[in-house]
């Protein structure tokens, strides 16, 4: 047993209202720079829908993640090391910018400088890549809320095989929002795909990062990640990805997306896992066993043996205390209501999701009536479409797993409704969910009330583990040219022929470097 | 021996070689963040799909051919009993294949850079300089390989002129006369080549030194410690 700690996340899809506050605040902090215009470390897509980049879930096309070879051993779906080196001059599986979208801005200046006229001036879209006027024909959320109708939504690869059952008519359609960040996987195929060894998983908290100094721009992480959550900064020529806001996590604070989440759907906490079991769990032959295998990698923070082993690995005591109170362990393991996103990619993702019960309930409440709990149980079983779809999303197609989770959630609702409306405590509903009444009420508090202190249980990084904190005072650790936002050395806006686009593609200025050296010397 | 000759055949090669070596070292020390392939594949993937590999593989073969052709003296091939015509056909055919593959790929790369606006906008001044030098280098190189070696009855024997001079540079006794006596096209090819190596460390060509062969032998998943005090990187 080799115990490691991982900062993990759970999102409660029932409560996501698709407001995109998380995406915007994340972008504002991390990717509001030339070269990352098209990059959304956090994005919220509509399901069913194509997602961002378009149809990213289709691994037959993108070849991200892992698969089993004929002898049942784990290998990268895109091919092994030799193949990667031989095809290094042109990555065969790389998405192009159009698979994301061509970033644009508007020539706002015309609003100010337009001559007096009868008609209002219009700011036109300009491509941020070419500087030229463009027609906007696709964007990061083009099919938001099923916009674009059946043609766009049915292009969701997850709907394959469900065409017969899927109803896209207005009354029968179902949808929910799926916020996504990097999964900070236990078995990250991005790390495995990077030929330069620039990507790594942090030992202490499991955050997956790209070493900007060692990245050489081979782009295999971009194609190797099945969730398409590594992005290529076309200005710096380096890969970038969600950092799980590690400067905040190290201070015990939640990530920006979590902190600002309007629906309060996000949970952050520690899980302990056995690093020695990761590979075996990722290699189980039957995809439907993957969920169980992934759960079995987690270690019970109450188990004295686990705690002793954790201490031997140097995990501090206060971290173990945090692991004990972890909302992630509650939701994913103790109560079993959170599921991993596309476990069949075999990367052991560490952002899990509570599946949405609302699409089920809302079909029953269409006429303005409150759904009867008994109807809800029946409906879960009968609404095969959402169930099969959710199973494809969160359980590698295992409908029983999703049904079980939805039943537990429905039981919780029914139990609480009875308690609130009739003042009755129905222990049979708790038993149905497989929990004590006390635990069921705790689950209700965590999911429905979702107090800040319950949602985020994040230990601080330990300064005494290194001598570098002092050196880092006053910097944010992201202090590199082209680095994000306010704390990095921001590139000066270079000459440009475009009124809109601040790029000349220059990546290395001899003169700049010399000047920088001079400043350093001075 | 005129001052011009000394400049071209003594000072230029040593200055360029020094710039190459010192420049690389300095860039590596100060600019890890800028050290990248600078790929534009996400802007244009279709042409790059064949042109990129063709150019790179062709260029690697061509550079290898140069090393062999320039390094091995005539006396050596004579000594092992390789006749002049065997050597000539070997070098001409191998050189022509490498040159053609490289040139075709290069034309593809230039074409996409010129016609695709996104790629064009991502082209820096240094890139332009590199492209310009490569046009001359590859163009001349192919012309010399085909016109002066493969498709002619009287192949030009660069081994008695340019090669002699090139090797003499290594023993620090530049044989200026050998270079002066060479065909003018070969001379231009050599001069442009030195300019190319001098520009090399300051362009994104440096990614050639980052071919990640270590990937073949390392574990797939890498861990790093935040606080290096505890222990070095541990791996699965
Ligand atoms: S989700 Fe994140 S950690 Fe997992 S493979 Fe993709 S980039 Fe790597
Ligand atoms: S801020 Fe929260 S509720 Fe709003 S879209 Fe993001 S995850 Fe959903």
DSSP string for B54-121: HHHHHHHHHHHHHHHHHHS-HHHHHHTT--HHHHHHHHHHHHHHHHHHHHHHHHHHHHHHHH-HHHHH
> Which residue, by CA, sits nearest to atom 2 of ligand 1?
A182
Residue B190 has pLDDT above 90, yes or no: yes
Dist. CA A22–CA A44, nearest whole Å: 8
User: What Å distances lie between residue B32 and A88, A211, B204, CA to CA?
Assistant: 20, 10, 12
Instruction: Look at chain B and report how many structural domains it folds into.
Output: 1
Q: Are A169 and A76 in contact (CB under 8 A)?
A: no
Q: Which residues contact A203 (CB under 8 A, 6 or more apart)?
A: A4, B223, B224, B225, B226, B234
Quick one: pLDDT at residue A474? 41
Task: For chains A and B, count residue pairs whose Cβ atoms are closer than 8 Å.
Answer: 175
Dist. CA A390–CA A380, nearest whole Å: 12
Q: What is the DSSP annotation of A448-492?
A: II--HHHHB--PPP-GGG-S-HHHHTT--S--STT-STTTS-PPP
B117/A85 Cβ within 8 A: no
Residue A279: its chain B contacts at CB < 8 A? 236
B33/A236 Cβ within 8 A: yes
Please indicate whether residue A16, judged by its CB atom, sits closer than 6 Å to ligand 2: yes
- Decide if B223 is inside a domain: no
Residue A218: its chain B contacts at CB < 8 A? 37, 39, 212
Which ligand is in closest contact with the Cα of A24? 2
pLDDT > 90: what percent of chain A? 70
The 3-state DSSP class for residue A493 equals coil
User: What Å distances lie between residue A103 and A9, A391, A500, A502, CA to CA?
Assistant: 29, 33, 12, 13
Residue A99 has pLDDT above 70, yes or no: yes
Dist. CA A398–CA B69, nearest whole Å: 64
CA distance B79 to chain A (A): 37
Lookup: tokens for A505: 């593609």
A87/B49 Cβ within 8 A: no
Lookup: tokens for A257: 């997306």
- Decide if B161 is inside a domain: yes
- Decide if B225 is inside a domain: no
CA distance B208 to chain A (A): 10
Report the mean per-residue pLDDT for chain B.
91
Lookup: tokens for B59: 């260029």
Residue A481: its chain B contacts at CB < 8 A? 33
Residue A199: its chain B contacts at CB < 8 A? 222
Ligand 2 center from residue A261 Cα (angstroms): 5
Rounded mean pLDDT, A340-365:
86
How far is residue A246 CA from its own chain's centroid?
15
- Decide if B104 is inside a domain: yes
Residue A36 phi/psi, 5-degree rounding, is -125, 25
Rounded mean pLDDT, A487-495:
37
Lookup: tokens for A201: 């998983």
Residue A320 has pLDDT above 70, yes or no: yes
Rounded mean pLDDT, A312-334:
96
Q: Which residues contact B186 (CB under 8 A, 6 or more apart)?
A: B144, B156, B158, B161, B162
**End-to-end alpha carbon distance in chain A:** 52
Highest mean pLDDT among A114-128, A183-197, A353-367, A369-383: A183-197
The CATH number covering residue B148 comes to 1.20.950.20
Dist. CA A436–CA A414, nearest whole Å: 15
Residue A270 has pLDDT above 90, yes or no: yes
- Domain limits at B90? 3-216
Quick one: pLDDT at residue B113? 96
Residue A34 phi/psi, 5-degree rounding, is -60, 140
> Which residue, by CA, sits nearest to atom 6 of ligand 2?
A22
Residue A492 has pLDDT above 50, yes or no: no
Dist. CA B53–CA B38, nearest whole Å: 15
Please indicate whether residue A22, judged by its CB atom, sits closer than 6 Å to ligand 2: yes
Residue A85: its chain B contacts at CB < 8 A? 211-213, 215-216
Which ligand is in closest contact with the Cα of A45? 2
Rounded mean pLDDT, A241-246:
96
A507/B124 Cβ within 8 A: yes
Q: Are A127 and A102 in contact (CB under 8 A)?
A: yes
- Decide if B233 is inside a domain: no
Residue B225 has pLDDT above 70, yes or no: yes
Residue B234 has pLDDT above 50, yes or no: no
Rounded mean pLDDT, A385-392:
83
Q: Which of A39, A53, A183 best tests ligand 1's pocket when mutated (most atoms within 8 Å of CB)?
A: A183
Lookup: tokens for A33: 């720079």
Lookup: tokens for A353: 């999701």
The 3-state DSSP class for residue A434 equals coil
Q: Which residues contact A25 (CB under 8 A, 6 or more apart)?
A: A256, A257, A259, A260
Please indicate whether residue A356, judged by its CB atom, sits closer than 6 Å to ligand 2: no
Q: What angle do CA A184, A78, A215 make, to 5 degrees?
A: 55
* Omega before B13 within 30 of 0, i.e. cis: no
pLDDT > 70: what percent of chain A? 83
Of residues B194, B94, B100, the one with CA closest to residue B142: B100
Q: Name the H helices within B122-227.
A: 125-145, 162-170, 176-180, 184-199
Quick one: pLDDT at residue A302? 96
B33/A191 Cβ within 8 A: no
Residue A128 has pLDDT above 50, yes or no: yes
Better pLDDT: A482 or A8: A8
Better pLDDT: A300 or A368: A300
Residue B18 has pLDDT above 90, yes or no: yes
- Give the chain B residue whose CA is nearest to the CA of A222: B42
Q: What is the DSSP annotation of A241-273?
A: E--TTHHHHTTTPPPHHHHT-TT--EEEEEEEE
- Decide if B228 is inside a domain: no
Residue A213: its chain B contacts at CB < 8 A? 32-33
> Which residue, by CA, sits nearest to atom 8 of ligand 2?
A16
Residue A481 has pLDDT above 60, yes or no: no
What confidence tier does B85 reach under pLDDT thresholds 50, 70, 90?
confident
Residue A506 has pLDDT above 70, yes or no: no
- Would you say how long chain A is, in residues? 522
CA distance B201 to chain A (A): 11
User: For helices A373-382 and A399-417, what crossing angle results, to 10°?
Assistant: 170
- Decide if B221 is inside a domain: no
Residues in a beta bridge with A75 = A67
**What is the number of the ligand 2 atom nearest to the C-alpha of A18?**
5
Q: Which of A185, A191, A200 best tests ligand 1's pocket when mutated (most atoms within 8 Å of CB)?
A: A185
Quick one: pLDDT at residue A255? 97
Residue A512 has pLDDT above 90, yes or no: no
The 3-state DSSP class for residue A444 equals helix
A96/B43 Cβ within 8 A: yes
Residue B207 has pLDDT above 60, yes or no: yes
Lookup: tokens for A66: 């892992």
Q: Which of A27, A179, A180 best tests ligand 2's pocket when mutated (most atoms within 8 Å of CB)?
A: A179
Dist. CA A25–CA A29, nearest whole Å: 6
* Omega before A48 within 30 of 0, i.e. cis: yes
Strand order in the sheet with A339-340: A298-299, A266-274, A3-12, A351-354, A339-340
A202/B44 Cβ within 8 A: no
Dist. CA A239–CA A199, nearest whole Å: 9
Quick one: pLDDT at residue A513? 55
Minimal Cβ distance to B223: which of A187, A201, A234: A201
Q: CA torsion angle for A256, A262, A263, A269 (degrees, to 10)?
A: 20
Quick one: pLDDT at residue A498? 35
Q: Which residues contact B184 (CB under 8 A, 6 or more apart)?
A: none
Quick one: pLDDT at residue B96? 95
Minimal Cβ distance to B41: which of A91, A195, A205: A91
Residue A450 has pLDDT above 60, yes or no: yes
Residue B36 has pLDDT above 60, yes or no: yes
Please indicate whether residue A183, judged by its CB atom, sits closer than 6 Å to ligand 1: yes
Which ligand is in closest contact with the Cα of A225? 1
- Classify each residue of B99-131 as buried b or exposed e, where b means 16 or more C-beta atoms within 10 Å of its C-beta: bebbbbbbebbbebbeebebbebbbbebbeebb
Ligand 2 center from residue A26 Cα (angstroms): 11
What confidence tier does A41 reach under pLDDT thresholds 50, 70, 90?
very high
Look up the ipTM and state it: 0.91
Report the mean per-residue pLDDT for chain A.
86
Rounded mean pLDDT, A349-373:
73
A278/B126 Cβ within 8 A: no
Give pTM, 2 decimals: 0.89
Quick one: pLDDT at residue A170? 60
- Decide if B180 is inside a domain: yes
How many C-beta neighbours within 10 Å does residue B83 have? 10
Of residues A279, A96, A262, the one with CA closest to residue B41: A96
Residue A354 has pLDDT above 70, yes or no: yes
Residue B117: its chain A contacts at CB < 8 A? 129-130, 132
- Would you say how long chain B is, in residues? 236
- What are A467-477's pLDDT values in tens digits? 444 444 444 44
- What are A390-445's pLDDT values in tens digits? 999 999 999 899 989 998 998 998 899 899 989 999 999 999 889 999 999 999 99
Please indicate whether residue A263, judged by its CB atom, sits closer than 6 Å to ligand 2: yes
- What are A61-95's pLDDT values in tens digits? 999 999 999 999 999 999 999 999 999 999 999 99
Rounded mean pLDDT, A289-313:
96
Quick one: pLDDT at residue B40? 96
């Amino acid at each position: 047993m080799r115990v490691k700690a991982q900062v993990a996340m759970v999102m409660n899809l029932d409560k996501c209202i698709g407001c995109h506050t998380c995406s915007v605040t994340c972008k504002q902090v991390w990717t509001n720079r030339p070269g990352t215009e098209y990059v959304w470390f956090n994005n919220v897509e509509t399901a069913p829908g194509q997602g961002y980049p378009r149809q990213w879930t289709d691994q037959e096309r993108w070849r991200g993640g892992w698969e089993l070879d004929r002898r049942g051993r784990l290998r990268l779906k895109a091919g092994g090391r030799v193949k990667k080196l031989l095809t290094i001059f042109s990555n065969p599986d790389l998405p192009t910018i159009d698979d994301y979208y061509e970033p644009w801005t508007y020539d706002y200046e015309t609003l100010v400088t337009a001559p007096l006229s009868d008609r209002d001036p219009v700011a036109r879209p300009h491509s941020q890549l070419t500087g030229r006027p463009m027609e906007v024909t696709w964007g990061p959320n083009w099919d938001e809320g099923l916009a674009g109708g059946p043609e766009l939504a049915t292009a969701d690869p997850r709907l394959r095989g469900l065409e017969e059952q899927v109803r896209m008519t207005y009354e029968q359609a179902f949808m929910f929002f799926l916020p996504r960040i990097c999964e900070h996987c236990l078995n990250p195929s991005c790390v495995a795909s990077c030929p330069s060894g620039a990507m790594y998983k942090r030992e202490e908290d499991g955050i997956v990062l790209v070493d900007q100094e060692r990245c050489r721009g081979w782009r295999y992480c971009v194609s190797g990640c099945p969730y398409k959550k590594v992005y290529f900064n076309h200005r710096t020529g380096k890969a970038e990805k969600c950092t799980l806001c590690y400067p905040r996590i190290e201070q015990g604070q939640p990530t920006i997306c979590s902190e600002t989440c309007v629906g309060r759907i996000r949970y952050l906490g520690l899980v302990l896992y056995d690093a020695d079991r990761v590979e075996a769990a990722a290699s189980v032959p039957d995809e439907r066993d993957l969920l169980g295998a992934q759960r079995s990698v987690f270690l019970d923070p109450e188990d004295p043996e686990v705690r002793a082993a954790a201490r031997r690995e140097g995990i501090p005591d206060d971290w173990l205390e945090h692991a004990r109170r972890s909302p992630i362990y509650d939701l994913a393991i103790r109560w079993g209501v959170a599921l991993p996103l596309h476990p069949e990619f075999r990367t052991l993702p560490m952002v899990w999701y509570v599946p949405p019960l609302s699409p089920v309930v809302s079909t029953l409440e269409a006429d303005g009536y409150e759904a009867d709990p008994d109807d809800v149980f029946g409906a879960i079983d009968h609404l095969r479409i959402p169930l099969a779809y959710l199973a494809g999303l969160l359980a590698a197609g295992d409908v029983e797993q999703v049904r079980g989770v939805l039943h537990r959630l429905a039981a919780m609702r029914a139990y609480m409704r009875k308690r609130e409306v009739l003042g009755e405590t129905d222990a049979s509903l708790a038993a149905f969910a497989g929990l004590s009444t006390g635990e069921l009420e705790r689950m209700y508090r965590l999911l429905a009330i979702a107090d800040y202190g319950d949602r985020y249980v994040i230990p601080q990084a330990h300064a005494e583990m290194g001598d570098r904190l002092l050196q880092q005072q006053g910097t944010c650790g992201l202090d590199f040219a082209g680095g994000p936002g306010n704390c990095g050395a921001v590139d000066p806006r270079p000459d440009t022929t475009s009124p809109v686009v601040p790029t000349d593609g220059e990546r290395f200025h001899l003169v700049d470097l010399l000047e920088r050296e001079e400043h350093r010397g001075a | 021996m005129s001052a011009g000759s000394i400049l071209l055949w003594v000072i230029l090669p040593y200055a360029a070689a020094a710039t190459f070596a010192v420049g690389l070292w300095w860039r590596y020390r100060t600019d890890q963040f800028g050290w990248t392939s600078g790929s534009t594949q996400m802007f244009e993937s279709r042409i790059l799909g064949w042109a990129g590999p063709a150019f790179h593989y062709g260029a690697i073969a061509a550079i290898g051919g140069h090393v062999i052709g320039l390094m091995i003296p005539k006396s050596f091939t004579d000594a092992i009993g390789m006749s002049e015509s065997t050597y000539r056909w070997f070098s001409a055919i191998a050189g022509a294949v490498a040159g053609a593959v490289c040139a075709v790929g290069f034309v593809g790369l230039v074409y996409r850079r010129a016609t695709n606006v996104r790629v064009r906008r991502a082209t820096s001044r240094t890139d332009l300089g590199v492209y310009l030098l490569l046009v001359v280098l590859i163009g001349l190189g192919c012309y010399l390989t085909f016109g002066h070696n493969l498709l002619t009855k009287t192949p030009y024997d660069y081994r008695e002129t340019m090669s002699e001079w090139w090797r003499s540079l290594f023993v620090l006794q530049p044989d200026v006369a050998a270079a002066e006596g060479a065909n003018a096209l070969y001379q231009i090819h050599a001069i442009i080549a030195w300019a190319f190596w001098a520009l090399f460390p300051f362009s994104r060509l440096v990614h050639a030194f980052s071919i990640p062969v270590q990937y073949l032998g390392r574990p797939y998943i890498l861990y790093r410690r935040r606080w290096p005090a505890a222990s070095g990187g541990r791996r699965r």
